[in-house]
């Protein structure tokens, strides 16, 4: 069996598993994976919470594969690391503060146990055991930092003042960052739905964007050759209308395609 055929069969099987566990991907999605995958990279989406992630990956040239977190099982994590070309960690509720040595603030709403156990395992393994691309969005960005040994501001309003939930605001990117190179600009407006943010930066990461009130809005790997980026905003919600934000997903997919060739 040649490699494209093998990848197509595995991708179809994973989509079937995801569907079995209750993920509705849309009528057009199974047709997209039944074709030869060609050069399209396989992108794992941990714990799907919105079809926007599927559409964003698909429309950017990747093949989205939803990873079930049923029972919090980590049995297939090693197989995912081998099979997938990129990993997208999506938004959601809060990581238990015990993961970074703190008691929970009264505003913390914890991830359910199954999702927590699975995402903790796959994010840490992906970062430590591969050099493949990872894009973290909102909670996903926080997972990148916590999995790398960092900590979080548990509640922005009470700890720092201000509000970053259900608003639009400006972000300022570091001009020498990979993120700034992707966007081709260093200041623009983003959507915002979070009440937590990076506090102490994790090992191997650097801060590359802040809001005008100083809240950390994005991090990336200190390794210039690795695509490991976390953003607090939701580019997938702004696509396809916002072509600026589409640049981030397209850069992620292109990096995954390059990693597949190595």
Show which residues are catalytic. Answer: 138, 234, 236
Residues 39, 257: contact at Cβ < 8 Å?
yes
3-class DSSP assignment, residue 135: strand
Distances from the Cα of 81 to the Cα of 17, 131, 230, angstroms: 17, 10, 19
User: In the β-sheet with 216-221, what is the strand arrangement from edge to edge?
Assistant: 63-67, 42-46, 86-89, 134-137, 228-231, 216-221, 205-211, 165-173, 187-193
- Interatomic CA distance for residues 5 and 3, integer angstroms: 5
Nearest to 111 by CA among 91, 93, 136, 138: 93
Contact indicator for 37, 81 with CB cutoff of 8 Å: no
């Amino acid at each position: 069996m040649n490699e494209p055929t093998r990848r197509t069969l595995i991708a179809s099987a994973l989509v079937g598993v995801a569907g079995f566990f209750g993920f509705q991907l849309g009528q057009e999605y199974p047709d997209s994976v039944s074709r030869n995958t060609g050069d399209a990279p396989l992108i794992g989406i941990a714990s799907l919470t919105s079809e926007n992630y599927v559409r964003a990956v698909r429309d950017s040239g990747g093949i989205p594969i939803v990873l079930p977190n049923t029972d919090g099982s980590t049995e297939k994590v090693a197989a995912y690391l081998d099979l997938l070309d990129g990993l997208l960690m999506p938004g959601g509720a809060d990581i238990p503060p015990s993961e970074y040595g703190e008691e929970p603030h009264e505003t913390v709403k914890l991830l359910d146990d199954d999702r927590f156990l699975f995402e903790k395992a796959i994010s840490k393994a992906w970062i430590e055991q591969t050099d493949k691309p990872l894009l973290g969005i909102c909670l996903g960005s926080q997972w990148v930092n916590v999995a790398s040994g960092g900590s979080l501001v548990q509640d922005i309003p009470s700890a720092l003042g201000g509000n970053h939930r259900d608003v639009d605001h400006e972000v300022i990117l570091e001009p020498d960052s990979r993120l700034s190179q992707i966007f081709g600009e260093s200041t623009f407006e983003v959507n915002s739905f979070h009440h937590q943010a990076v506090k102490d930066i994790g090992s191997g990461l650097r801060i590359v964007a802040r809001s005008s009130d100083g809240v950390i809005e994005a991090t990336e790997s200190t390794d210039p050759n690795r695509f490991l980026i976390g953003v607090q905003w939701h580019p997938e919600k702004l696509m396809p209308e916002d072509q600026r934000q589409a640049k981030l997903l397209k850069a992620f997919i292109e990096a995954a395609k390059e990693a597949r060739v190595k």
